[in-house]
Chains A and B, each alone.
Chain A
Amino acid sequence: MKRLFKALSITASIAAAGAITGGMASSPAAAQGFQPAIVFDMGGKFDKSFNEAAYVGAERFKKESGIEYREFEVTQEAQREQALRTMARRGATIVVGVGFAQASAMEKVADEFPGTKFCIIDSVVERPNVQSITFKEHEGSFLVGMMAAMASKTGKVGFVGGMDIPLIRNFATGYQQGVKHANAGAEIFQNMTGTTPAAWRDPTRGGELAKSQMDRGADVIYAAAGGTGLGVLQAVADNKKLSIGVDSNQNHLHPGSVLTSMIKRVDVAVHNCMNSAKNGTWVPGSRVLGLKEDGVGYSLDDDNKALVTDDMKAKVEGAKAQIIAGELQVQPYKQ
């Protein structure tokens, strides 16, 4: 009960804060205006990864348009539906749900509020007022897999996933194909942190998984695990090996130790969603963003410049062009 009260009071206080900063959002006149809202998932807005990318997108929209958005960070399962409904009821024009786990909650809430527009990232919700955006994570993971194999001295690379779900398996399978593409003899260790949403924020366990992989000889480890991934990157940096970040550009977290990051342009997706709704160009339906659409990719900046050789870059760019042209097929994970 206490937790429920806590959740309710947080909801109320965030809504109140939104009303103050958003400029009388609760008055009927403002409710008729454009009011975007975003619901972040477990892991939190500042997970330096998936949710943070969504946050960056929303912030960019705010900066460009000058329109404040409402936000909520989900901290437990039951809050998702509640948060989406609260946003819709309070007159949000468009509600962005970040993360696959919000799919079932959004199905319900989208039915209840047919006049409200919804966007979901990382899952597909088939409703006339929902736009679903998914990514070809396997394509981006393929490229970083190639880089891992080329950067590895031991010929052994690792993968640490967050929650064991098809989405994360999709990262893993693309990564495996990329590693094998660059070095057919390479060995891959794969670990999943857990089977519950708590697996997104268990850096201690992430670090232990990474250490066990390094003990087995892995010298490049790819973390696709939200907040848990921070523990992976930390453990790898402590042992002076290489890691690969995910979703956001994580190269700056441990300069010289993060080989690259598999970037998923969640920021672009969130920004497009809000922007198109504002401009009236928003359409429901399903969008899949891959290498071709620039929805996924790998990061290259000052922090990892020294780690990526020209040869690596050339080969990865070559593979990227082949994938876009359809000459090279990366298989997604089959359930």
Chain B
Amino acid sequence: MDYMTLLSVLDGTVRTAAPLVLAALAGLFAERSGVVDIGLEGKMLAGAFAAAAAASVTGSPWLGLLAAILAGIALSMVHAYATVTHHGNQVVSGMAINILVAGLTPTLAFAWFQQGGQTPILQSGERFQSITLPLADALGDTIPVLGPLYREVISGHNILVYAAVLAVPVTAWVVYRSRFGLRLRAVGENPSAVDTAGISVAKLRYQALVICGALTGAAGAYLSTAQGAGFVRDMTAGMGYLALAALIFGKWKPAPTLAACLLFALADAVQIRLQGVDIPGIGIIPVQFIQMLPYVLTVLLLAGFVGKAVAPKASGIPYVKER
């Protein structure tokens, strides 16, 4: 693998990791507040649909993003209402959202656009375009090693990728440095202590789920209006679950979660790259074997390299005030 190949793989890694990072951070907010959110997948899918539909109708990707965020928040509120207000089972509620969205999105798309459960293909003005960072071409040619890295990997992504990158330190700051974050972590570990201190557990969890919904919506918008150009049925293809896995690998901490997302994305990019390539001494590796790689990696990591992952203590348990 020469340097340019490496850069192209890394470039692919960044593109694939962006939606995972957004969704995993969404999960982080929810789970840190003590609400298990298996519905990331469904909310992403709803976001993808809302973004594509709104962008197609209005012609603006920004309105699409707004619609996606609103769709994500709306579903998050359904989840919150069921699990926080009515103490429902969080896994069941999350699964219900996934199944609901999987059926609802193509149905709505069919009713609105009459294109068999898809949205119309978005034109270039209706999507987030890639941004060339200042001096990318100049630096890429003059500075060795770092120049091409800047030009190929760091520059040339759409705005949502940079938003995802920025979301990691912001999340870390909010969770560890702000008053809201302190309370958020406390409510995920020991809600009764928070309640005793006179802070509403339900309000905090609702707030966390609003953030969660907004982030999943943005992740969905990335899929349909930035990376792709339109909504296609089931287009999230399990990415929400992968984000959840990354969150667990990352032990519910922002930076390690980012690393886990990048690792998954790298495995995917390498897999795409290795397909059909004649490797000296080995020959062409069968497609099936290469497609197995990310899963093998997952099993290996789970089996021992990560160590024990301890979830927030109150995660998954509805908080009921004692009578």
A residues engaging B (CB < 8 A)?
2-3, 6, 44-47, 73, 75, 164, 189-192, 194-195, 198, 201-205, 207-209, 211-212, 215-216, 227, 230-231, 234, 238, 253
Verify A208–B233 contact, CB threshold 8 A.
Answer: no
Cβ-based interface call for B178 (8 A): no
For A253, the closest partner residue in chain B by CB is B121
Cβ-based interface call for B117 (8 A): yes
Verify B272–A212 contact, CB threshold 8 A.
Answer: yes
A44 to B275, CA, bound (A): 27
A73 to B273, CA, bound (A): 34
Write out the residue numbers on chain A whose beta carbons fall within 8 Å of the beta carbon of B115. Answer: 46
Write out the residue numbers on chain A whose beta carbons fall within 8 Å of the beta carbon of B288. Answer: 164, 195
Cβ-based interface call for B169 (8 A): no
Verify B103–A192 contact, CB threshold 8 A.
Answer: no
A3 to B229, CA, bound (A): 28
Verify B121–A230 contact, CB threshold 8 A.
Answer: yes
Cβ-based interface call for B46 (8 A): no
A-B contact count (CB 8 A): 87
A329 to B211, CA, bound (A): 62
B residues engaging A (CB < 8 A)?
4-5, 8, 11-12, 15-16, 99, 103, 106, 115-118, 121, 124, 130, 223, 227-230, 232-235, 237, 268-269, 272-273, 275-276, 287-288, 291
For B235, the closest partner residue in chain A by CB is A204
Write out the residue numbers on chain A whose beta carbons fall within 8 Å of the beta carbon of B275. Answer: 191-192, 209
A238 to B15, CA, bound (A): 15
Verify B234–A201 contact, CB threshold 8 A.
Answer: yes
Verify B235–A203 contact, CB threshold 8 A.
Answer: yes
Verify A191–B272 contact, CB threshold 8 A.
Answer: yes
Verify B116–A45 contact, CB threshold 8 A.
Answer: yes
A72 to chain B, nearest CB (A): 12
* Given A44-B233, A201-B234, A191:B276 Cβ within 8 A: yes
A208 to B5, CA, bound (A): 14
Verify A44–B118 contact, CB threshold 8 A.
Answer: yes
**Could you name 28 residue pairs across A and B whose Cβ atoms are closer than 8 Å?**
A6-B103, A44-B233, A45-B116, A46-B116, A73-B116, A190-B276, A192-B275, A192-B287, A195-B288, A201-B232, A201-B235, A203-B229, A203-B232, A204-B227, A204-B237, A205-B272, A208-B15, A208-B269, A209-B272, A212-B8, A212-B12, A212-B269, A215-B4, A227-B118, A230-B229, A230-B232, A234-B228, A234-B229
**Can you add 16 more A-B contacts, CB < 8 Å, to A208-B272, A216-B5, A234-B121?**
A45-B116, A46-B117, A47-B116, A73-B116, A164-B287, A192-B287, A198-B234, A201-B235, A208-B268, A209-B272, A211-B15, A212-B8, A216-B8, A227-B232, A231-B228, A231-B229
A208 to B11, CA, bound (A): 10
A190 to B286, CA, bound (A): 12
A234 to B124, CA, bound (A): 10
A6 to B107, CA, bound (A): 11
A1 to chain B, nearest CB (A): 10
A254 to B137, CA, bound (A): 27
* Given A2-B99, A44-B117, A46-B115, A204:B228 Cβ within 8 A: yes
Write out the residue numbers on chain B whose beta carbons fall within 8 Å of the beta carbon of A203. Answer: 228-230, 232, 235
Write out the residue numbers on chain A whose beta carbons fall within 8 Å of the beta carbon of B12. Answer: 208, 211-212
Write out the residue numbers on chain A whose beta carbons fall within 8 Å of the beta carbon of B229. Answer: 203, 230-231, 234
A207 to B228, CA, bound (A): 8
Write out the residue numbers on chain B whose beta carbons fall within 8 Å of the beta carbon of A46. Answer: 115-118
A107 to B293, CA, bound (A): 36
Write out the residue numbers on chain B whose beta carbons fall within 8 Å of the beta carbon of A215. Answer: 4-5, 8, 11
Write out the residue numbers on chain A whose beta carbons fall within 8 Å of the beta carbon of B15. Answer: 208, 211
Write out the residue numbers on chain A whose beta carbons fall within 8 Å of the beta carbon of B5. Answer: 215-216
For B239, the closest partner residue in chain A by CB is A204
A286 to chain B, nearest CB (A): 30
A168 to chain B, nearest CB (A): 11
Residue with the highest number of chain A CB atoms closer than 10 Å, among B230, B268, B272: B272
Verify B11–A198 contact, CB threshold 8 A.
Answer: no
Verify B99–A202 contact, CB threshold 8 A.
Answer: no
Enumerate the 10 nearest inter-chain pairs by beta-carbon distance, A residue then B residue, closest first.
A46-B116, A215-B8, A44-B116, A45-B116, A46-B115, A234-B229, A190-B276, A212-B272, A191-B275, A203-B228
